[in-house]
């Protein structure tokens, strides 16, 4: 059983947000036991659906000591650097990830779809050959995709997962780069991407955090 449950992550953003503007995440989680070590949080912007070396780690934060109960904090992080995003991928859909780890083991990954689009209908229908970053706005989907991963919470005891747990984790923990490749292949619109999944329940799914 996980000692930490992420109850809610609220993304604060303004209208007509620019591609490189900062992010703000209001995070609430519940801890069931005292934790001997800190929780490590990271925010990652997926820069390309084809190469994870273009991902940008926007910020990282360690929180602790963590005692039983409900905890809440605000995570302010800088926005991505647009010049590090390939010009062929800066317009369209990508993902920003909030991850949390304990004892260097990631146990939850929360992903929000982002659509970088031109502000005017005319430019959306007739986009320039070379992207004009100043004319783009960032639209964030409020429904996250959550991946939960079983880890060893006991720093003094090695826990070996069963074959069934390993198989389930492998099946569920699909990378967001792969997910974006599927979107490109299927030629999905952002609206279709943002729709809740109709597949069966699993560890990785589009869902409310609480």
Per-residue pLDDT, averaged over 183-199, amounts to 37
Per-residue pLDDT, averaged over 18-24, amounts to 94
Q: Total domain count for the chain?
A: 1
Q: What is the pLDDT of residue 209?
A: 62
Residue 110: inside a domain, yes or no?
Answer: yes
Distant-in-sequence, close-in-space partners of 130: CB < 8 Å, separation ≥ 6: 87
Distant-in-sequence, close-in-space partners of 186: CB < 8 Å, separation ≥ 6: none
Beta-bridge partners for 140? 114
Q: Counting beta carbons within 10 angstroms of the beta carbon of residue 58, is it exposed (0 to 12), middle (13 to 18) or buried (19 or more)?
A: buried
Residue 160: inside a domain, yes or no?
Answer: yes
Query: Is 46 within 8 Å of 176 (Cβ atoms)?
Result: yes
* Residue with the two structure tokens 């800066």: 90
Q: What is the pLDDT of residue 49?
A: 86
- pLDDT tens-digit series, residues 49-71: 888 899 999 999 999 989 999 99
Check residues 205 and 24 and name the one with the higher pLDDT: 24
Q: What is the pLDDT of residue 188?
A: 39
Q: Judge whether residue 75 has pLDDT over 60.
A: yes
pTM for this prediction: 0.76
Q: Which CATH number does the domain housing residue 75 bear? A: 2.60.40.1490
Residue 206: inside a domain, yes or no?
Answer: no
Q: What is the pLDDT of residue 186?
A: 42
Residue 207: inside a domain, yes or no?
Answer: no
Using DSSP's 3-state secondary structure scheme, residue 81 falls into coil
Q: What phi, psi does 4 have (nearest 5°)?
A: -130, 130
Instruction: Specify the range with the lowest mean pLDDT, choosing from 100-104, 109-113, 119-123, 152-156.
Output: 152-156
* Pairwise CA distance, residues 52 & 182, whole Å: 15
Using DSSP's 3-state secondary structure scheme, residue 101 falls into strand
Check residues 162 and 149 and name the one with the higher pLDDT: 149
* Pairwise CA distance, residues 131 & 89, whole Å: 10
Tokens of 133: 């970053």
Query: Is 131 within 8 Å of 92 (Cβ atoms)?
Result: no
- pLDDT tens-digit series, residues 155-168: 765 555 555 544 44
Per-residue pLDDT, averaged over 5-16, amounts to 85
Q: What is the pLDDT of residue 177?
A: 45
Residue 39: inside a domain, yes or no?
Answer: yes
* Pairwise CA distance, residues 99 & 105, whole Å: 10
Using DSSP's 3-state secondary structure scheme, residue 28 falls into strand
Q: Judge whether residue 175 has pLDDT over 90.
A: no
Percentage of residues in the chain having pLDDT higher than 90: 64
Percentage of residues in the chain having pLDDT higher than 70: 73
Tokens of 188: 């999905």
Residue 201: inside a domain, yes or no?
Answer: no
Strands of 4-12's sheet in order across: 4-12, 23-31, 69-77
Q: What is the pLDDT of residue 118?
A: 96
Residue 159: inside a domain, yes or no?
Answer: yes
Q: What is the pLDDT of residue 143?
A: 87
Residue 84: inside a domain, yes or no?
Answer: yes
Domain extent at residue 81: 4-195
């Amino acid at each position: 059983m996980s000692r930490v449950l992420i109850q809610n992550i609220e993304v604060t953003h303004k209208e007509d947000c620019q591609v490189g503007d900062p992010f703000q995440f209001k995070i609430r989680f519940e801890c069931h036991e005292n934790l001997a070590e800190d929780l490590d949080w990271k925010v990652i912007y997926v820069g390309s659906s084809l190469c994870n070396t273009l991902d940008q780690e926007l910020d990282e934060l360690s929180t602790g000591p963590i005692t039983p109960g409900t905890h809440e904090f605000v995570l302010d992080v800088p926005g991505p650097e647009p010049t590090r995003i390939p010009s062929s991928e800066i317009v369209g859909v990508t993902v920003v990830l909030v991850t949390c780890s304990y004892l260097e083991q990631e146990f939850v990954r929360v992903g929000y779809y982002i659509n970088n689009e031109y502000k005017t209908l005319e430019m959306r229908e007739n986009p320039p050959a070379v992207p004009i970053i100043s004319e783009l706005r960032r639209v964030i989907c409020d429904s996250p995709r959550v991946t939960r991963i079983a880890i060893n919470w006991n720093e003094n005891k090695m826990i070996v997962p069963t074959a069934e747990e390993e198989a389930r984790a492998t099946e569920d923990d699909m990378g967001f780069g792969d997910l974006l490749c599927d979107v490109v292949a299927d030629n999905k619109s952002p609206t279709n991407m943002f729709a809740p999944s109709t597949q069966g329940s699993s560890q990785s799914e589009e869902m409310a955090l609480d």
